Amino acid sequence: AYGAEERRLLAALVSQISVAVENAHLYSETRERANELAVLLHIAEAASSTLEIKEALKLTARLTAQACRVDRCSILLVDESSGAIEPLMSQFASGKTDSDLWHRFRTSTYTEAASGIPLVRQVFDARQLITIENPRESGLPEEWTKPFGIQSLLIVPLVSKDSCIGVMVLDHTSPERRFTPGQINLAALIGNQIAIAIDNARLFEAERAERQVTETLREA
């Protein structure tokens, strides 16, 4: 049996271990927040480096895929006139390119209206991100995932002025990989930044078009 002094020492040791564990958790959380802020700053700088939307989002998508530790990041907007999903950008974290894959992605994959796909409509209506661990059972069209080797994906709504203007999609091509809470949280923060970047680029384009019209009228 333990004596009184031994029990006192054990209790003190347990208390010290508890404090050490708590400090380790706090350190880990602080470091994770610092890393997130650094990533967000880097992506914000990339998104604002040019008001040419495709150039800005090309770099942003690659940085997002790297930061979230996924294979690919794709950005899709909704065409205001047709309601169809329009692929704007798709970048691998590795930086590699695949022109055939992009051609298929850009021209023949996303032809349905966003409102016609229940899962996509759910994301747009709720404006909440969603993770899909088994695309075959998700209700997404097979041509959206199978040709690209997608095994799991995260869909993040891009919300601007209380309206969903598109989605950012992160995907894994390895069946054993899954999305962690840290990845999901970071992706949501990045999605907010991307929506702001798109808004700014559209505003710039609208102002430039208005200036061109004004200049044309002055010259007439």
The model carries a pTM of: 0.75
Average pLDDT of the residues in 80-91? 81
pLDDT at 24: 67
Q: Six-digit token pair at 31?
A: 């470091």
pLDDT at 70: 92
Sign of CA dihedral 71, 94, 42, 161: negative
Among 14-28, 52-66, 86-100, the minimum mean pLDDT is found in 14-28
**Percentage of the chain exceeding pLDDT 90:** 12
Q: Six-digit token pair at 185?
A: 């949280």
Average pLDDT of the residues in 59-75? 88
- Euclidean distance between CA atoms 212 and 206, whole angstroms: 10
How confident is the prediction for the chain on average, in pLDDT?
Answer: 80
Helix (H) or strand (E) holding 104, with range, is: helix 99-104
Task: Summarize pLDDT for 7-54 with one digit per residue, the tens.
Answer: 677 777 777 777 777 766 665 555 666 666 666 666 767 666 655 677
Phi/psi zone of residue 95: left (φ > 0), alpha (ψ -120 to 50 degrees), beta? left
- Euclidean distance between CA atoms 12 and 24, whole angstroms: 18
Kindly tell me the number of DSSP H helices and DSSP E strands found in the chain. Answer: 6, 5
Task: Summarize pLDDT for 103-156 with one digit per residue, the tens.
Answer: 777 777 777 777 788 888 888 888 899 999 988 888 888 888 888 889 999 999
**Percentage of the chain exceeding pLDDT 70:** 82
Concatenated DSSP letters of 9-68? HHHHHHHHHHHHHHHHHHHHHHHHHHHHHHHHHHHHHHHTS-S-HHHHHHHHHHHHHHHT
Q: How far is CA 197 from CA 48, 61, 114, 139, 206, in A?
A: 7, 12, 22, 30, 14
Gyration radius of the chain over CA positions: 23
Question: How many angstroms from the chain centroid is the CA of residue 71?
Answer: 12
- Are 26 and 32 in contact, with CB atoms under 8 Å apart? no
pLDDT at 26: 63
